[in-house]
Amino acid sequence: MANFDEYHSFLVVGLARSGVAVSALLASHGHAVSVYDDDPQAMARFADSEVARDFKQRVVTLSRQDAAVAATRSDCVVVSPGVPMEHPLIVAARGAGVPVIGEIEAAWHYTRARIVGVTGTNGKSTTVGVIGEILAAAGDDVVVAGNVGTPLADVLRERDPHTLVLELSSFQLDTIDQFRVDVAVLLNVTPDHLDRYQRSMAKYAASKARILNRAGEETWYVYNAEDAAAVRIASGHRGPVVPFSSMRSLDRGVFFDGGAVVRVWDGQRVEVIRRGEFTPAGIHNLENALAAIAAVIPLGVDLASIRSALRAYRALPHRMEMVRVVDGVAYINDSKATNVDAAIKSLMSVEGPVVVILGGRDKDGDFAALVPQLGRVKRAVLIGEASTAIRAALTGHCEMADAGDMRDAVNTARAATAPGDTVLLAPACASFDMFKNYQDRGETFRACVNAL
């Protein structure tokens, strides 16, 4: 990619939140911006948006035909994470030698903040949230952004903070070039989104490894010592590393030992916090806390700030969220468990007999991997497009029942419970077959439970 400062005309492809945000940021810096989306409704919304009104001299919407021309003649194309690289406009741009980048890359050129970047298959949102709370408790001027919800471009239109904590998806990392972080955090690499990576775990892992794009000897790498891909990446990193583990003690790093989170660094062993003081449930949330504690080691945060932030932290919605207890049965919403590995950790985190609601849109998940966790499962209630595949994988290992919608699923689950049981929504699938997103799915589950 050439010098970003030499680009003057941009085509933005995809007008979801990040596409709109980067259009506004680029226009605010005086660039000529053309925008396009395959969805006519998205185009109409943009045309009626504040961004289109505020920058009507610099931002224009294009027809598909005009966008095809712009793709080959613009200085740079900015693609939204939801747009596949096989999209004809992206293929045309690359064929013409036009650089194709994402919103993260484009926005990064307008910040001088120190950056903590967090990626991984599961746990990103919680981890960036905890890091943000720790830094805020320490008095830092910090903003959490990225895939967690607020586009980086939106943040930088308002101000440039001292520290940015960015959640970075594999799709966002696929479209970076010069972007780099000061602290890179890799939580885990397990099968997910393989439909976008030609069903190749190697390609998916390579995408996650781009968190260390342009890393130098000054770049810190924080990684899960129990994740094979993360460990392999550590072996090739030139800069300082901080491992973390929920399964064993480490000579150096952050780990869980004897009911406490322990940090060993600079020859000092310190008990940071007891397990019960960090309230979000589940082994995966413990791992997220370990990662956050490890991530702030390079930033020199004091222990008092770390402890106060961890004690005050509350889980995000749809992540092992206790909805309510009905007739002695706990109903837990883990709609964010959108892949098999996340569902496994959900099941591991619940004590006692469980009725689990599984299903949605399959992302090439290995549902047979759920089998070792089915010993306490009284019934699996199956919903959505993946029902047939899940049933085939779990037949003979637990009782199963089909449900037509979420209300039916909750009622079917309830019928199999007794006081002391748990009904767990841990779908192991994407939500888009029946819902707008995982939040919509979780909110529907919550509403159905509250209606009992």
Strands 268-274 and 260-265 come out as antiparallel
Q: For residue 391, give the amino acid letter.
A: R
* C-alpha span between 430 and 448 (Å, rounded): 19
* C-alpha span between 434 and 443 (Å, rounded): 13
What residues are paired with 270 via a beta bridge? 263
Contact partners, residue 197, CB within 8 Å, separation at least 6: 170, 203, 204, 207
Q: Is 90 exposed, middle or buried (0-12, 13-18, 19+ CB in 10 A)?
A: buried
3 state DSSP class of 261: strand
Q: What is the dihedral of CA 238, 241, 247, 251, to 10 degrees?
A: 100
Catalytic residue among 31, 124, 284, 378: 124
Q: Report DSSP state, residue 428.
A: S
Strands 163-167 and 114-119 come out as parallel
* C-alpha span between 140 and 132 (Å, rounded): 9
> Which pair of tokens denotes residue 114?
């120190």
* C-alpha span between 29 and 339 (Å, rounded): 40
Strands 422-425 and 329-333 come out as parallel
Could you tell me where the DSSP H helices lie in 210-326?
Answer: 228-235, 283-295, 303-312
- Secondary-structure breakdown of the chain: helix, strand, coil percentages, each rounded to the nearest 5: 40, 20, 40
Catalytic residue among 8, 56, 122, 147: 147
* C-alpha span between 39 and 32 (Å, rounded): 22
Question: Does residue 322 contact residue 305 with C-beta atoms inside 8 Å?
Answer: no
Q: Is 193 a catalytic residue?
A: yes
Please count the residues of the chain.
452
Catalytic residue among 87, 193, 203, 237: 193
Q: Is 122 a catalytic residue?
A: no
**Annotated active-site positions, please?**
124, 147, 193
